[in-house]
Amino acid sequence: VTIAPGVEMPLLNFGVSNRSLFIELGGRGLDTAWVYGDLDQAETGEAVRNSSLQRSELFVTTKIPCCPSSFITCNKSMGHEYADKHIQ
């Protein structure tokens, strides 16, 4: 699905407990949230780093509270420079 010019998002995005297996089975859309806790975001980041795919082949969605510093905290928790979609 095109969500912006040049930005494609998988139709299915899951916040599953075994993200590495999800990626192995062909999943490309990962969902996490700051409110789920740092451990959830860290596991998402680890699954992305440990996959054989390029970061650009995966789509990471995260949900954050309204303060701008949450963007930085969220990305640090995942160990990524960016998330593909932030939902406030």
**Would the pLDDT of 79 be above 70?**
yes
**Helix, strand and coil percent figures for the chain, each rounded to 5:** 40, 25, 40
- CA 31 – CA 5 distance, rounded (Å): 21
In the predicted model, is pLDDT for residue 23 greater than 80? yes
User: Which amino acid appears at position 10 of this protein?
Assistant: P
What is the arithmetic mean of pLDDT over 35-45? 77
What pLDDT does 83 receive? Answer: 75
Average pLDDT of the segment spanning 1-30: 90
| 45-60 b/e (C-beta count within 10 Å ≥ 16 → b) | bebbeebeeeeeebbb
47 against 63, higher pLDDT: 47
Look at residue 68 in the predicted model and tell me its pLDDT. Answer: 62
Give the distance, in angstroms, between the CA of residue 67 and the centroid of all CA atoms in the same chain. 19
